[in-house]
Structure 1
Amino acid sequence: MWKHTAARWVLSMLIALSLMHVVAEKNDEGTPCGCALETGGVAEYFCSVMDEVWEHETDNFTKPVLGDPPASFSWKDNGGDWTTPARYQGNCGSCWAFAAVSALESIINIREGVATLDPDVSEQYILSCLPSSGSCHGGSPYLAYYYLHSTGASGDYHNGIIPEECFPYQARDDVPCSEKCADWEEKLIPIADYGYWIPDGSEEDRNRIKTQVMEDGPVVTFMMATEDFQQWGLIHHGQDDYYPYPGYVPGIN
């Protein structure tokens, strides 16, 4: 049953991921990196990894044509709910993996034209088999796509992601990759393309993001939660501060 479904999803992924943009923002002095439950060495490590990746890659998707978006729009209420259910990440800083997977699952729904299809793919596969993309201490959804697409050692020698049932989420990054299901290679959903473009903060680019969401589906964005985000209350930092923290945007308002 799954093999037939997976094969159909492969076709939709070839279309959907060519349209997916990993949208990030940066200031004049920073480069988008990952998220972290704690600051310091882990976050700095992933920033250095992202710097190395982006040294060889420029904005590899062009900005979408500027449209005239309405005041509000949501894939959660557009003739149906095209997003997949929110899932609990547990005591693991895997927000970045959940952001990447959530956008991907929603795009599969949209491209298949079935709001209730609701595929469930494995965040644990990313944590356990693609450790270069991140850990329970933070990571990058861009790196998740980068290594899912890779067929080298860092990409588990295969392009794609597997279903949740093949490698259930355990909220740990020390689960061996070998614990995935035995026939995982037959269940891989390949990724044809991925990429990002960097908004400049202008109203025009904000409207481009809105247009992107409406035309192509949810996009992944960054906002970093600093230590004071762990407490309830009003958080305010300088307008030029840059905090990349992954999430995904299913609509506009």
Structure 2
Amino acid sequence: MSWSKKCYYAAAILFIFGCTSCYHVVSSSSSSSLCYSEESSMCIKHEKWMAEHGFSYENEKVKKTRYQIFKDNVAHIERHNQEGKHTYKLGINEFADLTNEEFLAKYARSSVPSFNVTSNQSSFEYKCTKHVPHRLDWRDYNAVTPIQNQGDCGSCWAFSAVAAIESIVAIRSGKLTRLSQQHVLDCNYEHDTCEGGLIHNAFEFVIKNGGLASAIDYPYTAIQGKCSNNKPSSLSLNITGYSVVPQNNEKALLKAVANQPIAVYIDASTFQFYKSGVMTGKCGTRLNHGVVIVGYGKEDGVKFWLLKNSWGRGWGENGYMKLKRKVHAKEGMCGIAMFPVYPNV
């Protein structure tokens, strides 16, 4: 078949599916064609994905590279979901043209904790809690602010710390206020940055600073900027200290979450395409990300922790994740029990 006829049939197929930008690639040169023959449906999927997320590439070479990664990731996602033996589903999201190594380098850069006792550390006051509900979701108590997106900045440590502060203040005062991660990112005394940081350093900053600005007064930019520490505090109650939950102890962690959302470090290496259900299976303990446990429960016979993440509503269950609870490993699933920490009021 001549090239002109090939172009004609490819263009006809793509016109039916509305993939005009693919047709532009097809008609430009045969060597750069992504939307031809058996590739057409995958290319259309890629083009629609680009349009949905507002992505574009600097040149055709980069686009080809990203397309191949996208294609491999989609194959992995579809294979996982078709196996029908998992308790969770994967889905195509905004991270679909990144390798797992690239994804972790961008979005999971929390520092591995190296904890020194300070004057602001308090004892674990929930050890005597005797009864906990079978399920709990702090969102039902107006104690969790909406999901946000940290973007390309590795500021999960600030997001998890601020979310834990927002929640305990709401529980104690009845007033839920979105607070500023940017204030912590710009002004923290340990100079933790978009390259990663420690959750308890964020608590230390809020305590020593005597407050924290609102997200409205000090909005998030996903870039560390110059400190503007002249914004009014929006804390209705002051943070007086913070506590570490007994490490590698899911029973203690359950008692803590029954009283307030808890910030945790976690190994997010397998989280890139999580979509729904209870995440189970192999998972490491190389702590590289910070999230907040905002509840727990049981789904289809599997007990889970409910996690609030900071990768936007397009990831997971509208920004949330269910992670298997009560596993044999003392560290918990993905190391969730290794270093839980929470603020005190």
Q: TM-score, normalised by structure 1?
A: 0.62
- Residue in structure 2 matched with residue 161 of structure 1 by the alignment: 212
Structure 1 residue 97: deviation in Å?
0.8
- Residue in structure 2 matched with residue 176 of structure 1 by the alignment: 226
Q: 2: distance between equivalents of 1:207 and 1:55?
A: 23
Q: 2: distance between equivalents of 1:98 and 1:82?
A: 15
- Residue in structure 2 matched with residue 74 of structure 1 by the alignment: 137
Structure 1 residues 130, 37: closer, same or farther in 2, change over 3 A?
farther
- Residue in structure 2 matched with residue 225 of structure 1 by the alignment: 268
Q: 2: distance between equivalents of 1:66 and 1:209?
A: 11
SS in structure 2 of the partner of residue 198 of structure 1: coil
Structure 1 residue 248: deviation in Å?
0.7
| 2:172 maps to amino acid | R
Structure 1 residue 71: deviation in Å?
2.4
- Work out whether residues 101 and 123 of structure 1, in 8 Å CA contact, stay in contact via their aligned partners in 2: yes
- Residue in structure 1 matched with residue 248 of structure 2 by the alignment: 200
Q: 2: distance between equivalents of 1:70 and 1:124?
A: 35
- Work out whether residues 107 and 218 of structure 1, in 8 Å CA contact, stay in contact via their aligned partners in 2: yes
Structure 1 residue 119: deviation in Å?
0.2
Name which of 108, 117, 120 aligns with 2:178: 120
Q: 2: distance between equivalents of 1:142 and 1:121?
A: 16
Residue 61 (1) aligns with residue 119 (2): no
Structure 1 residues 76, 65: closer, same or farther in 2, change over 3 A?
same
| 1:193 maps to amino acid | G
Q: TM-score, normalised by structure 2?
A: 0.47
Structure 1 residues 82, 58: closer, same or farther in 2, change over 3 A?
closer
Structure 1 residues 231, 57: closer, same or farther in 2, change over 3 A?
farther
Structure 1 residue 243: deviation in Å?
2.3
Structure 1 residues 242, 177: closer, same or farther in 2, change over 3 A?
same
Radius of gyration: which is bigger?
A: 2
The two structures, once aligned, show a CA RMSD in angstroms of 3.1
| 1:149 maps to amino acid | I
Structure 1 residue 245: deviation in Å?
2.5
**Structure with the higher strand share, 1 or 2:** 2
Residue 236 (1) aligns with residue 282 (2): yes
- Work out whether residues 153 and 222 of structure 2, in 8 Å CA contact, stay in contact via their aligned partners in 1: yes
Structure 1 residues 69, 133: closer, same or farther in 2, change over 3 A?
farther
- Work out whether residues 68 and 207 of structure 1, in 8 Å CA contact, stay in contact via their aligned partners in 2: no
- Residue in structure 2 matched with residue 245 of structure 1 by the alignment: 289
- Work out whether residues 142 and 176 of structure 2, in 8 Å CA contact, stay in contact via their aligned partners in 1: no
What's the % identity of the aligned pairs? 25
Structure 1 residue 220: deviation in Å?
0.8
- Work out whether residues 66 and 207 of structure 1, in 8 Å CA contact, stay in contact via their aligned partners in 2: no
1:152-199 per-position Cα deviation (integer Å, ceiling 9, x unaligned): xxxxxx3321112221110111x1113x6xx52x43644222221332
- Work out whether residues 267 and 283 of structure 2, in 8 Å CA contact, stay in contact via their aligned partners in 1: no
- Work out whether residues 246 and 253 of structure 2, in 8 Å CA contact, stay in contact via their aligned partners in 1: no
Structure 1 residue 74: deviation in Å?
1.4
Structure 1 residue 58: deviation in Å?
11
Relative contact order, CA 8 A, sep 6+: which one is greater?
1
Structure 1 residue 99: deviation in Å?
0.7
Q: 2: distance between equivalents of 1:127 and 1:146?
A: 13
Name which of 143, 148, 163 aligns with 2:201: 143
Q: 2: distance between equivalents of 1:89 and 1:232?
A: 17
Q: 1: distance between equivalents of 2:122 and 2:191?
A: 19
Structure 1 residue 86: deviation in Å?
1.2
- Residue in structure 1 matched with residue 105 of structure 2 by the alignment: 38
Structure 1 residues 231, 133: closer, same or farther in 2, change over 3 A?
farther
Q: 2: distance between equivalents of 1:101 and 1:245?
A: 15
Name which of 137, 148, 162 aligns with 1:87: 148
| 1:107 maps to amino acid | I
- Residue in structure 2 matched with residue 18 of structure 1 by the alignment: none
**Which segment drifts farther, 131-140 or 82-91?**
131-140
SS in structure 1 of the partner of residue 264 of structure 2: strand
